[in-house]
Amino acid sequence: MIGNAWLMIAFPLVGAFILLVFNRFTNRWGHLLGVAMSLASFVVAVLAFVELLGFGPEERRRAVHLYEFIPGMVDMGLLIDPLSISFALLITGVGSLIHIYSIGYMSHDEHRRRFFSYLNLFVAAMLLLVLADNYVGLFIGWEGVGLASYLLIGFWQFKPSAATAAKKAFVVNRVGDFGLLVGMFVIWTTFGTLTFKGLGEQIAPGTQNGTMLAIGLLLLLGACGKSAQLPLQSWLLDAMEGPTPVSALIHAATMVTAGVYLVVRSGAFFFPEGSGAALAVAIVGAVTLLAGAIIGCAKDDIKKGLAGSTMSQIGYMMLGAGLGPAGYAFAIGHLITHGFFKADMFLGAGSVMHGMNDEVDMRKYGALRKVMPITFVTFFIGYLAIIGFPLLSGYFTKDGIIETAVHHQPILGWLAVLGAGITGFYMSRMIFMTFFGEKRWADDAHPHESPLVMTVPLMILSLGSIFLGGYLILSNRLLDWLTPAVGAPAERPEFHFTSVPGLATLALVAVGAIIAWMKYGRVPVPAVQPRGSFLTTFARRDLYGDALNESLFMRPGQWLTRLAVFFDNRGIDGVVNGLAAGIGGSSGRLRRIQTGFARTYALSILIGAALLTGALLFVGNI
């Protein structure tokens, strides 16, 4: 099956093609085809994974040549190794559950068939991104998920806010894509190859120079765009304008994790030990995890609160990736478990919206646990996992990142501990405002449990939120599995149940949950958002990220555009138009000489002859 791994990409790609080309003829069964293609891709991924398990650890990097792509530069091929197949299982597994959930969520949308075609297109592009054996194939998949996310975020294009959000995501990601593209240019110029295998053979262990630093920073810029890390995070919260399954697929399990994949796959450019690029990755992750957590504290929109949480959790992954092989297993482990519990919560939020007439304001919820018990239980499991409740998935993966970070980068590690405490607050706030307290529903709201086609995926995702983290991290199962692809750490990390950072994390999480209960669980939640302090406003406005972008880039861009228009109108066009006007005016004046009277012409000839004769006599006398 490894030799036919291209089928993983082909199935959803064919599904997208059929649904888009045959258009309305597939309206009645198009959603079923979309689900079938995603499930078929998942089956291929499972079979390839089982086959890969049959090889010894040193043989678990299998190349699949497809065809000659760019002669003399790169062939198109796939790399099936522990890292890529882990991503493929996550993309197709969680992606298929989201496809199934979407059957119910989008059941009343007249364009449901087109929605499933975009989902299939996205899955195909994401699989190409993680399975390609070279940067060119990765970049094609990278741009493919950018296109698909643009289409999905702006799916309800009749809403101006959705269309604007899609354009914003597209533009911001182009900034990151520019960094990735330039990084690829530098890699090709320096090493003469863009294949992962070729680069691994050429880059000597421990190589550290200015070129390697530049490549690492350029790749980091690409990762920041796709994974919504500072300073390219501004698109993520606005992207919640898309249908909720889009948020679960793109902003929990797949696209926003592509930056983490890029950093880990490109580890040779970030490590040797002490590399400035690696430190930059860790700093970006630490700062972003705090920024996302702070933003999540002040959002009343349930999806935007989860978006801030996504931004924060990917910050943890980037922090782990910035620690090198010692942190890779925890970073990828958190990426996988986060795909489960965050998809669980996004889909849970969609279930709440489904029963609340698409209301997203948590101040208009309350007491929903009584009328939506399955949604509540599954959402609550995801909540426990993300705050790191002991023995659930997030406890093993996130606390593993924190402990490793405190050991290698103490300042960043303790910032991550602080971020965990804030996570305990804002996620508890979300739980109390949505499912507890008194009901604050609108008169026309009739909340009810979602159908099985929506709740069964929630149940499956919640099971992964409970058990997956412990299975991956304990006994270093994931570390040993990833080692053939990403290398072994100099010192094997171990998860400690009673480490100082771990205990401090649990204590802060408990404090955050207690504060949230005192503010939102013990007392009635105001129906109208209080004005709040400067810090509250700071968080509500996304740390003034949009205002900063407007001041630094949009306004100067506007003035530059106006200056260019002025120069074009008054400078370039002024010269051209002035020359034309001068010639036209001169011609108009000269035209007056042509009167049509012979006597005038005779007089002119006489005067001219007299002047010429006088001039000749003058010159002759000289």
β-bridge partners, 134: 195
Residue 377 reports pLDDT greater than 80 = yes
Span 241-255, average pLDDT: 84
Residues 253, 352 within the same domain: yes
Residue ranges making up the domain that contains 206? 158-547
Q: Among residues 515, 547, 579, which one ends one of the domains?
A: 547
Answer positive or negative: Cα dihedral of 432, 435, 436, 440. Answer: positive
Claim to verify: residue 519 and residue 566 sit in the same structural domain: no
Rounded to an integer, what distance in angstroms lies between the CA atom of residue 421 and that of residue 458?
Answer: 26
Which of the two residues, 576 and 261, has the higher pLDDT score? 261
Of the pLDDT bands very low, low, confident and very high (cuts 50, 70, 90), residue 47 is very high
- Percent of the chain at pLDDT > 70 equals 99
- Average pLDDT score, the chain: 91
Q: Once rounded to an integer, what is the mean pLDDT over residues 427-435?
A: 95
pLDDT at 399: 93
Query: Is 286 in a helix, a strand, or coil?
Result: helix
- Residue that is last in its domain, among 526, 547, 568: 547
Closest CA to 500 of 439, 426, 427, 410: 410
Distance (Å, rounded) from C-alpha 241 to C-alpha 6? 33
| Distance of alpha carbon 125 from alpha carbon 141, whole angstroms | 5
Torsion angles phi and psi, residue 213, rounded to 5: -65, -45
Share of the chain above pLDDT 90, in %: 64
pLDDT of 179 above 90: yes
Tell me, what's the pLDDT at 618? 84
Residue 29 forms part of a structural domain: no
**Residue 105 in domain:** no
Contact 433, 520 (CB under 8 A): yes
Element (H, E) at 354: helix 325-355
Residues listed for the chain:
622
Q: List, for residues 101-120, the tens digit of each pLDDT value.
A: 999 999 888 889 999 999 99
Predicted pLDDT of residue 530 = 82
| 396 assigned to some structural domain | yes
Same domain for 537 and 558?
Answer: no
Reference 405, options 257, 283, 271; nearest CA is 283
Do 325 and 401 belong together in one domain? yes
Residues 365, 421 within the same domain: yes
d(CA 395, CA 337): 10
> Is the pLDDT score of 99 beyond 90?
yes
Answer yes or no: do 298 and 180 share one domain.
yes
Provide mean pLDDT across the span 22-31: 89
pLDDT tens digits for 282-325?
999 999 999 999 999 999 999 999 999 999 999 999 999 999 88
Contact 362, 300 (CB under 8 A): yes
Is residue 24 domain-resident?
Answer: no
Residue 615 covered by a domain: yes
Q: Do 492 and 562 sit in the same domain of this protein? A: no
| Residue at 274 is within a domain | yes
Residue 368 has pLDDT above 90, yes or no: yes
The larger pLDDT score, comparing residue 599 to residue 191, is at: 191
> CB of 339 within 8 A of CB of 325?
no
Contact partners, residue 138, CB within 8 Å, separation at least 6: 128, 129, 132, 262, 265
Burial of 255 from C-beta contacts in 10 A (0-12 / 13-18 / 19+): buried
Q: What is the mean pLDDT of residues 56-71?
A: 89
Question: 579 with 489, same domain?
Answer: no
What is the pLDDT averaged over residues 341-357?
Answer: 93
Instruction: Mark whether 293 and 355 lie in a shared domain.
Output: yes
Q: In this model, does residue 622 exceed pLDDT 70?
A: no
Element (H, E) at 66: strand 62-70
Lowest mean pLDDT among 179-188, 199-208, 392-401: 199-208
Contact 191, 139 (CB under 8 A): no
Could you report the per-residue pLDDT of 571-618, keeping only the tens digit for each? 888 888 888 888 888 887 777 777 778 888 888 888 889 999 988 888
Total count of domains within the chain: 2
Q: Is the peptide bond between 231 and the residue preceding it cis, with omega within 30 degrees of 0? A: yes
* Contact between 434 and 303 (Cβ < 8 Å): no
User: Is there a single domain that holds both residue 478 and residue 584?
Assistant: no
- Note whether residue 10 is domain-resident: no
Mean pLDDT, range 49-73, rounded to an integer: 90
Do residues 472 and 478 lie in contact, with contact meaning Cβ atoms separated by under 8 Å?
Answer: yes
C-alpha span between 39 and 367 (Å, rounded): 36
Whether the pLDDT of residue 274 is over 80: the answer is no
Q: Tell me the mean pLDDT in the region 239-254.
A: 85
Confidence band for 49, pLDDT divided at 50, 70 and 90 = very high
Task: Say which residues have a Cβ less than 8 Å from residue 592's Cβ, sequence separation at least 6.
Answer: none
pLDDT band at 544 (very low <50, low <70, confident <90, very high): confident
Terminus-to-terminus CA distance in the chain, angstroms?
105
The pLDDT score that the predictor gives to residue 571 is 83
| Encoded tokens for 230 | 């500072």
Token pair belonging to 233? 């995070």
Phi and psi for 76 in degrees, rounded to 5? Answer: -85, 125
Claim to verify: residue 464 and residue 564 sit in the same structural domain: no
DSSP character for 529? -
pLDDT at position 605: 87
* Residue 3 in domain: no
Question: Beta strand 62-70 with 74-80: parallel, antiparallel or unpaired?
Answer: antiparallel
The residues that bridge with 67 in the sheet, in sequence order, are: 76
**CA 438 – CA 446 distance, rounded (Å):** 15
| pLDDT band at residue 261 using 50, 70 and 90 as cut-offs | very high
Three state DSSP letters for 405-460: HHHHCHHHHHHHHHHHHHHHHHHHHHHHHHHCCCCCCCCCCCCCCCCHHHHHHHHH
- Average pLDDT rounded to a whole number, residues 47-73: 90
In the predicted model, is pLDDT for residue 23 greater than 70?
yes
CB 354 within 8 A of CB 472: no
SS (H, E, C) 189-255: HHHCCCEHHHHHHHCCCCCCCHHHHHHHHHHHHHHHHHCCCCCCCCHHHHHHHCCHHHHHHHHHHCH
Name which of 140, 141, 260, 269 is nearest 196 in CA terms. Answer: 269
d(CA 29, CA 98): 17
pLDDT value for 273: 60
d(CA 429, CA 416): 20
Q: Same domain, yes or no, for 583 and 475?
A: no
Q: Is the pLDDT confidence value at 272 over 70?
A: no
Average of pLDDT values for 24-28?
88
- Residue 499 buriedness (CB in 10 A; 0-12 / 13-18 / 19+): middle
Residues 6+ apart with CB under 8 A from 566: none
Reply yes or no on whether the pLDDT at 460 is more than 90: yes
542: left (phi over 0), alpha (psi -120 to 50) or beta: left
Q: What's residue 536's pLDDT? A: 83
Residue that is last in its domain, among 518, 547, 576: 547
